[in-house]
Structures are given as structure tokens and as C-alpha cells.
Structure 1
Amino acid sequence: MKKLFLLTAIAGIFAFSNVSAQTKDPAMTGSKIGIGAEFAFPTGNFGDAYKLGYGGTLQFQTPIIEKLNFTASAGYLTFRGEDIATVGGVTFRNADLNVIPVKAGINYFLAENIYVGGELGAAFGTGDNSKTSFAYTPHIGVEFPVSDKGSIDLSARYEEWSTNYDGPGNTNFNFKSRFVGLRLAYNFGL
């Protein structure tokens, strides 16, 4: 009985030391670049004017201190215009909104692979009479390691852009573009 207990204790010590010696999770360490697909669900008045948005982003992350990463991202989003009215069998709709958001911020890992964060930046409109907007976004996400240096990143965020648009009769009005965004990305470790 003593030999069995001793062998079990020795095996347990080796198993524990082997787990402790493994490298850290790739989602938590090192610099990385992520390529992601974006989906945006407009809310409030923005949801009355535009349908689902979609696009893609590139995001760079690098550790600042343990559990805290600096982020920088750029992408392209398209929001389809909602139908406004039908006159004489012809349906009129808002023009599509195409935007290039460029932001920087942080991700803080609350637990292994789970993070919260925020970004600030600008959203550059690409169409006629487009404006540049201040953009901010709080977010939450999770990264699943899939290889030594790769991970799948899934995040949800609230994003808002503040913009002055030219309204009817060349009047200016404030229009806040608000949406809930989902991002699915693959992160490549550098």
C-alpha cells in the first residue's frame, strides 16, 4: 500500500511540474495581428436609416504589462440604406454608408482568454459629403488558442460615431451612428 501511495505521489508531482513548465497561452502573450470579419447592428435613429453593416478589420496587439495589451485597428464597414418611401412604384432608400474606422486602445485580460477593453479614434466616411467622426467603443471578448501562435478571437462591442451631416436644405444636424458590433477574427502571433 505504501509503495502504491508513493508511486501515485511521485506521478502527481511529475504531472504538476510538467503542467507548470508549459508555455503560457498564446492568446495572453506576445504581439499579434488579427484579421477579422465584422457585423454591425444599428440601434436608435441610426437603425431607422440603415440596415445591417458588414466589413473587415486588421488589428495589431502588443503587451504593455502583464494582462494589458495595446491595440490599434483599421477596417472598412458598409451599412446598407433603409427604404425611405415608395412613389409611383419606385422605392427610394438612403444611400449606403461606407466608413473606414481607425482606432487605438487597450485590452485587459480579466481571466485567461477573457478580456475587456476600449478604443478611441476616428471614422472616415468615403462617400460624397462624407465627414470624419470621433469614434469610441467599449468591448468584451474571448480568445481561443488553436495553435502555438494562433488564436480565434470573438468579441462584442458598442460603438458610436458623432457626425454632423448636411440635412435637407443644407441644414446641419448632429447624427450619432450607434451600433452593436460582432467581430470574428484569427490572430497570428508575431
Structure 2
Amino acid sequence: MKKLLLSFALVAGLGLAANAQTEGAVRKLSIGAEFGFPTGEGSEDNMIVGGSLQYEHPVAKSFNITGSAGYLSNMLTGDTKDAVKAFGGKTSYGFIPVKAGGKYYFGGNFYGAAELGAAIATEEGMGTAFAYAPSLGASFSLADKSSLDFGVRYETWSKDGSSSFVGLRLAYAFGL
């Protein structure tokens, strides 16, 4: 919970320090670095890292529809990683999340978003999970048609149970 509150504070700070220009809903493509911190019991020895692309298309003055895809690696860390390695086990698993949704810009640079989709495992036999992710973030201009985007989300994957993580995304976006 501390990580989530710290992330929200960081988003707010970035937004306040941002350029006063209104970002709003514009057509753009962003490429970003992704970091995730699993929640729930037994998740303290996991970390998620990866990257993603996101396309935004305006449908109203402050609303974009979104489509995103990327690659995330769920990696074991610390003592758990050492123990699994000692027995010859795998210490990371890859996933390809593919999602679509909407992003609403309120207060200029700040936005709220929600996406639904699938998290496709790259390991045989792990299958595909239903994914949903509400998020908050800030986007601010760097130049005429480029911006920096920082978002915090709570993503859940459901398949024979569910797993969740707090995700952070730092992205460079350019207008199309």
C-alpha cells in the first residue's frame, strides 16, 4: 500500500511540475518502460519489468480510445530466486498483455484510464488470462508534438484464480 500511495504522490508532483499547457485528447503513440510490484501473499519476492506501446485515438475533446501491447517478465528475486535456481527451476516467466480501453483527460495534464484485454503467457501450458487495469496518470508536453507520460495502475489477471500488481509506466509519446 505504501508503494501505491508513493506512486500517486509522484504522479501528482509530476503533474504540478509539468508545463501549464493542456494536453487533452490527441492522436498519439507512446513507447514506455513498465515496472510492476505484485500484491498479495507471497509476492514480496517478485518483480515485473518490460515495455509497451500504446496508441490513443481521440473520440471527444477530453476522451481517447486506447490500444496497447507489450512484453512483461515476471521475475523471482531474493532468496526465492536462489532456492528455485538451486533446484534447476525457472526464475522468470514472460507475458504479452494486449488491451483496449479508454482514457479521459481531466484538469489538463491528468487522466484516468481503464483497459480490458488478455495476458498471453509465453510459456507452454500457462495459457491466457483475462486482464483489466484501471489507472491514473499525468501527461505533459516536452515539445510541440511530444510528451512525457507517467501512469500508475492496478492490474489484475484472472485465470483459475487471480493475481494483481501495481504497475508503473514511464513513456515517451509523439503526436501522429
* TM-score when normalising by structure 1: 0.74
Please state how far the C-alpha of 1:81 moved relative to its aligned partner. Answer: 2.6
Contact 1:151–1:186 under 8 Å retained in 2: yes
Please state how far the C-alpha of 1:90 moved relative to its aligned partner. Answer: 3.1
Q: Quick check: 1:33 aligned with 2:19? A: no
Structural mapping, 1:97-176, within 5 Å: 97-163=93-159, 174-176=160-162
Q: Which runs of 5+ in 2 are unaligned?
A: 1-19
Corresponding residue number in structure 1 for 2:68? 73
> How large is the Cα RMSD of the aligned pairs?
2.4
Contact 1:113–1:143 under 8 Å retained in 2: yes
SS of the residue corresponding to residue 44 of structure 1 reads coil
Query: What is the percentage of aligned positions where both structures have the same residue?
Result: 43
Larger relative contact order (CA 8 Å, sep ≥ 6): 2
d(CA) in 1 for partners of 2:121, 2:31: 21
Which deviations, in whole Å up to 9, do the C-alpha atoms of 1:62-97 show, x marking residues without a partner? 11111111010000000113527849x935655412
d(CA) in 2 for partners of 1:149, 1:26: 13
Q: 1:116 to 1:46 in 2, by over 3 A?
A: farther
* TM-score when normalising by structure 2: 0.80
Corresponding residue number in structure 1 for 2:172? 186
Q: Quick check: 1:59 aligned with 2:54? A: yes
Contact 1:85–1:92 under 8 Å retained in 2: no
Please state how far the C-alpha of 1:103 moved relative to its aligned partner. Answer: 0.2
> Residue type matched to 2:166 in 1?
V
d(CA) in 2 for partners of 1:146, 1:180: 26
d(CA) in 2 for partners of 1:96, 1:116: 31
d(CA) in 1 for partners of 2:42, 2:161: 8
Q: 1:86 to 1:46 in 2, by over 3 A?
A: closer
d(CA) in 1 for partners of 2:158, 2:120: 11
> Residue type matched to 1:182 in 2?
L
Q: Which runs of 5+ in 1 are unaligned?
A: 1-23, 164-173
- Count, aligned residues: 155
Q: 1:188 to 1:86 in 2, by over 3 A?
A: closer
